[in-house]
């Protein structure tokens, strides 16, 4: 079946503009995660959705970042008033459930964001 998909694959924007990044998780997966990976760095947790529960937003770096997950499926990560330090690869992952100890996270190919 289809894996996790993300769009766009690349996004170049000007400082101060808003951007929206989209993630389509694997069908039936109730948990969805957003991460950020800067060049040569590890993954930084941003936000986690589990079913209909309130999302864990503890990783969002500022109030310019927000995310929604509609109908328990597709998710959109929005960055308002982008800054150059927002440039990174934004990775989305999904898993069967976030509450299972050993549920594998399946990653999408990422969106490479460049803020000029």
Q: Applying CB under 8 A, which residues contact other proteins?
A: 31, 33, 35, 41-43, 45, 48, 50, 53, 56, 58, 91, 98-102, 104-105, 107-110
Nearer to other proteins, 62 or 99 (CB): 99
Q: Which is nearer to other proteins, 14 or 59 (CB)?
A: 59
In order of 27, 62, 72, 114, the CA distances from 80 in angstroms are 29, 10, 23, 14
Question: Which residue, 76 or 107, is less far from other proteins as judged by CB?
Answer: 107
Residue 85: what are its φ and ψ, rounded to 5°?
A: -70, -5
In the complex, least distance from residue 50 CB atom to other proteins, rounded to whole angstroms: 5
Q: What are phi and psi of 115, to 5 degrees?
A: -105, 120
CB 111 within 8 A of CB 10: yes
């Amino acid at each position: 079946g289809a894996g996790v998909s993300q769009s766009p694959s690349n996004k170049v924007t000007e400082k101060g503009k808003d951007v929206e990044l989209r993630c389509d998780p694997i069908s039936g997966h109730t948990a969805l995660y957003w991460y950020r990976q800067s060049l040569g760095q590890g993954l930084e947790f941003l936000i986690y959705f589990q079913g209909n529960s309130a999302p864990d937003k503890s990783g969002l770096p500022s109030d310019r970042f927000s995310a929604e997950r509609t109908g328990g499926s597709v998710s959109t990560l929005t960055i308002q008033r982008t800054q150059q330090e927002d440039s990174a690869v934004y990775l989305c992952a999904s898993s069967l459930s976030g509450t299972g100890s050993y549920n594998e996270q399946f990653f999408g190919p990422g969106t490479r964001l460049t803020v000029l």
